[in-house]
Amino acid sequence: MLESLKQSGKLIGQEIGRAWESLSEGWRELLSRGGDSLTHFIRGKDERPAEGAARATFPRWGLLACEVEEMERQIVVRVELPGLEKEDCRITVEGNTLLLSGEKRYASDTEGSTFHLMERAYGAFQRAIPLPRTVDIDNAKASYKNGVLTVSLPKESASVARTIPVTG
């Protein structure tokens, strides 16, 4: 009997070890691939969860997954912004950084309900996305469809070669 308990304890320890390793691997993957997409949302002073959400608090961090694709003549940035309206997004380019800011507002059609799970973040946010090249801001375009913001940024054309005379 004692030997059986020892064997069971050893098996349980191995299963816990495997589960821990799997969890650790998931966190490493999340941090290596999505660390930059983790975005802080700031709730306004007057904004409170709906009556039924009194016990649930909105997360202050959310994922805004992004991809930056470089082509011959342009850079295309795509950002997943579910739950946002295009009017709630502001796009700015400063140097080689695209700054995306906006606000995701909480809205509910129900009253008197209770949340048992609350993983969606709400509030104002800002995300800085590094660009691999200098871009032509004047000819940039943005569109929003199916919860994805797409920003097309033409690359700044290389300067024309010019001979510099040597004086003196």
Task: Please report, for the chain, the start and end positions of each structural domain, with discontinuous segments joined by +.
Answer: 36-154
Taking only the tens of pLDDT, the chain with its 168 residues reads 667 766 777 778 788 888 888 888 876 776 666 666 677 778 765 555 555 444 456 677 777 889 999 999 999 999 999 888 888 899 999 989 999 999 888 777 777 777 787 778 888 889 999 999 999 999 999 999 999 999 999 998 765 556 677 766
Prediction pTM value: 0.67
Q: Which amino acid appears at position 27 of this protein?
A: W
Q: What are the Cα distances from residue 167, in Å, to 40, 162, 163, 164?
A: 55, 16, 13, 9
Which CATH architecture describes the domain 36-154?
Answer: Sandwich (2.60)
- pLDDT score at 15: 82
- pLDDT score at 55: 42
What is the Cβ-side half-sphere exposure of residue 72, based on CA atoms within 13 angstroms?
0
